[in-house]
Amino acid sequence: MKSELPVLPTSPLPPLYAAWLEQLLAGPIPHERDATCDNCAMCADGREPNTNEIFFSPQTKCCTYVPALPNYLVGRILADEEPAAAAGRATVVARMRAGAGVTPLGLAAPPNFSVLYGHNPAALFGRSLTLRCPHYLEEAGGRCGVWAHRAGVCATWFCKFERGATGMNFWRSLEQLLTGIERNLAHWCLLELGFKGETLRRLLPMPVQTSRNNISAHALDGVADPQEQRALWGEWTGREAEFYRACAQCVGALTWADVLALGGPELQLFAQLTREAYDEISSEQLPAALKVGVFNVLRLGPDSNTISTYSGYDPIELPNKLLEVLPYFDGRPVAQALAAIAAERDVKLDRALVRKLVDFKLLVPCEGTTGTHRAKTGQRPQR
Ligand code: SF4
Ligand code: SF4
């Protein structure tokens, strides 16, 4: 095993994951520049409210979510002594002090959040202060306090994707891979740091106080049961921060090959799916034949319409002239459809525009042609 890999400042991923992914993928990870987090693309920002379009609150943005942090990421946050990381580190310390969901596996989402999350997401996601993440720094303009060490689910979530559904498919595959890694390595750290016997039995498969069916009054109130905590932490009781830092050291020494080997076939399959999704997002190839997909019209205008296709968070505005020629894509070969549009409607569509329409699922491959989009039309992504 080698020492920790170098930081890659150009990657959109946290440095630990960026270094591993550099070894898995053939090129750089794409930046999702339409998700303008510093000036949140989902906040209305003076735009006229429209009942069909979805906006988030500037007081929450998309952070109406409490991530589970695996033990080694907690350790990395605690060990990060950069002055800019201090405010975020304090939010993790506060979560540890509160005690609910604090186990040797890491910081689980508190039960009161887990009970609420998922209820009426259309009204609550991106809006509810009650669901807001404890690491969200409102005083810093709504920045993430643990950005450099955020969990896979946060590192891969975007409201908008430059390559539409093709991009979402890549990031979802990566989320599956990273959350699989987090699960695996959190358990591996227990082995490395000598957990055994009754303590281990209590932690596997789920710590008692974080299971939905075994919520104690203590846990629901957001505080730890001291007796339960002692049973979970064994000889590390009172040295939780030290334990998390030790986990960070163990994981920091792993190469990508080590991570893959520790994860076994399941992780290798997730890695393969991520590589395949990366190949798709790196390709501009068009399917041989296309037809019109399903879409919702959100706003009608004199010259253009706003429509949503693969996600309600990522509407696109299309000129009426373009919408009018879409029926030419009726399953005939793409080259024939383009030629007919040019001859009969005097409209020249370039292949890059057609590719964009495919990415956004306004045009979808006909059966039996190439195309691997799996997100359902109209599906609203949530964390
Ligand atoms: S990813 Fe979240 S913070 Fe960034 S622009 Fe989208 S909703 Fe806003
Ligand atoms: S950890 Fe950061 S990105 Fe994730 S929900 Fe919290 S504030 Fe948002």
Q: What is the pLDDT of residues 78-123, one digit of tens each?
A: 999 999 999 999 999 999 999 889 999 999 998 888 888 888 888 8
For the ranges 44-48, 252-256, 287-291, 342-346, which has the lowest average pLDDT?
A: 44-48
Atom 2 of ligand 1, residue of closest alpha carbon: 62
The reply to whether 49 and 133 lie within a common domain is yes
pLDDT class of 7 with cuts at 50, 70, 90: very low
pLDDT attached to residue 248: 98
The reply to whether 86 and 228 lie within a common domain is yes
For the ranges 53-57, 250-254, 350-354, which has the lowest average pLDDT?
A: 53-57
256-281 helix and 15-24 helix, angle to the nearest 10 degrees:
70
The reply to whether 316 and 351 lie within a common domain is yes
Q: What are phi and psi of 324, to 5 degrees?
A: -65, -25
The reply to whether 271 and 299 lie within a common domain is no
Relative to the CA of 158, which ligand 1 atom is closest?
A: 1
Nearest one of 232, 244, 228, 183 to 203, comparing CA atoms: 232
Relative to the CA of 56, which ligand 1 atom is closest?
A: 7
Ligand 1 lined by 61 (C-beta under 6 Å): yes
The structural domain count of the chain equals 2
Ligand 1 lined by 42 (C-beta under 6 Å): yes
Angstrom distance (rounded) from CA 361 to CA 373? 8
Atom 4 of ligand 2, residue of closest alpha carbon: 154
Angstrom distance (rounded) from CA 309 to CA 297? 9
Cβ pair 8, 19 in contact under 8 A: yes
pLDDT attached to residue 378: 35
97, part of any domain: yes
306, part of any domain: yes
The reply to whether 187 and 143 lie within a common domain is yes
Spell out the long-range contacts of 320-327 with Cβ–Cβ below 8 A and sequence spacing 24 or more. Answer: 321/347, 322/347, 322/349, 322/353, 325/349, 326/292, 326/357, 326/362, 326/363, 327/292
The reply to whether 167 and 304 lie within a common domain is no
221, part of any domain: yes
Bin 181: left if φ > 0, else alpha if -120 < ψ < 50, else beta.
alpha
Cα→Cα distances 309→51, 159, 198, 362, 363, Å: 17, 13, 51, 6, 10
pLDDT for residue 239 is more than 90: yes
pLDDT for residue 50 is more than 90: no
The reply to whether 262 and 309 lie within a common domain is no
Average pLDDT over residues 173-189: 98
205, part of any domain: yes
For the ranges 117-126, 184-193, 309-318, which has the lowest average pLDDT?
A: 117-126
Ligand 1 lined by 76 (C-beta under 6 Å): no
The reply to whether 76 and 212 lie within a common domain is yes
61, part of any domain: yes
pLDDT class of 52 with cuts at 50, 70, 90: confident
For the ranges 51-65, 182-196, 283-297, which has the lowest average pLDDT?
A: 51-65
For the ranges 3-7, 27-31, 94-98, 167-171, which has the lowest average pLDDT?
A: 3-7
Atom 3 of ligand 1, residue of closest alpha carbon: 37
Angstrom distance (rounded) from CA 349 to CA 331? 17
pLDDT for residue 207 is more than 60: no
pLDDT for residue 4 is more than 50: no
pLDDT for residue 3 is more than 50: no
370, part of any domain: no
The reply to whether 206 and 124 lie within a common domain is yes
What distance, in Å, lies between the first and last C-alpha atoms of the chain?
33
63, part of any domain: yes
Angstrom distance (rounded) from CA 329 to CA 142? 44
Angstrom distance (rounded) from CA 346 to CA 365? 24
Structural domain of residue 354, as residue ranges? 289-365
Please identify, among 213, 247, 281, the residue that sits at the C-terminal boundary of a domain: 281
Q: Find the CATH number of the domain harbouring 314.
A: 3.90.930
The reply to whether 266 and 355 lie within a common domain is no
Atom 5 of ligand 2, residue of closest alpha carbon: 63
Angstrom distance (rounded) from CA 106 to CA 117? 20
232, part of any domain: yes
Q: What are phi and psi of 88, to 5 degrees?
A: -70, -40
Average pLDDT over residues 180-188: 97
Amino acid in the structure at residue 142: G
The reply to whether 246 and 315 lie within a common domain is no
